Structure 1
Amino acid sequence: MTDPAPPFTWPVRVYIEDTDAGGIVFYANYLKFMERARTEWARARGIAMRAGLGENISFVVHGLEIRYLRPARLDDQLWVSADVTRFGKTYMDFEQQVGLAGSGDVLVQARIKVACTNLLTGRPRAMPESLRAALERAG
């Protein structure tokens, strides 16, 4: 039996625009970091977001559970993971973490459900099999 592949990670540097007046990352900006990691996760599997738009597909956050454990600060180098824990017909469940590079300390943990929707109507739709196969591929 082989070990599962490690989660996909993406590096992020904390800039002044990411912080509040105290120099710590504003809580909502962690969601932006996670969005970038999910986008790069898909890109690593050969999926360009523009291609989905051309096929009338949009991916939207349907649900979110997040825990803030410790703050990140100005100039910190972070890693953001994206790991799919479940594929449904119309959605993917992700577990994501944001951590401090070099220490391995986890700062934020989240579970995020991303739904596949019709771009024009916003209603759920099944992922095309070719897209689903590409997304399920180990990256």
Structure 2
Amino acid sequence: MKADTFRWPVRVYYEDTDAGGVVYHGAYVRFFERARTERLRAMGFEQDELRTREGIVFAVKSMNLDFIKPARFNDLLWVDARLVEAKRASLVFEQEIRRQADAGELLCKTQVRVACLEADAFKATAIPDYLLQRIKDEF
């Protein structure tokens, strides 16, 4: 794990899997979202407060998923998030999901672009300066 990577633990629950006990592809998206959200929370920013106080929300603009190996029911996973680009109105993250056992075997990876939007109009807007600077400094 690179020094600038945030890591969040996740356990695979039955609701995350298909009938065969393999993680359903859509569940990986939720796991990635949780890691990005928890990183913001660890920095002291709650997304509902950003909506209320700043009038902004973050939305996924694009995501490229690469499924490598399946996660299974009851696996303990690490979900990593690393900022690779910060622009005025968008952020790009590289994220990986690894099994905590098996020497951190890589299961899935993604690159995701998140856009900052006006909460009411859903139009692109600049990330507030103080928030963008903190993200650049701490992520």
TM bucket, shorter chain: over 0.9
Matched with 1:72 is: 71
Unpaired stretches in structure 1, ≥5 consecutive residues: none
**Matched-pair contact (CA < 8 Å) for 1:14–1:75:** yes
RMSD across aligned positions (CA): 1.1
Write the distance in 2 (CA, Å) between the matches of 1:20 and 1:128. Answer: 41
What is the deviation of 1:134?
A: 1.9
- For residue 14 of structure 2, the aligned residue among 13, 16, 22 is 16
Listed as ranges, the gaps of 5+ residues in structure 2 are: none
Deviation at 1:137, TM superposition (A): 2.5
Cα offsets for 1:42-88 (capped at 9, x unmatched): 11111111221112100000001110000000010000001000001
Deviations 1:18-60 (Å, cap 9, x if unpaired)?
0000000000000000000000111111111122111210000
In 2, the alpha carbon distance for the partners of 1:59 and 1:52 equals 9
Matched, 1:38 2:54: no
Superposition pairs for residues 1-139 of structure 1, below 5 Å? 5-54=3-52, 55-102=54-101, 103-138=103-138
More helix, by proportion: 2
Mapped to 2, the partners of 1:138 and 1:120 lie a distance apart of: 28
The residue type paired with residue 81 of structure 1 is: D
How high is the sequence identity, in percent, across the aligned residues? 37
- Corresponding pairs, count: 136
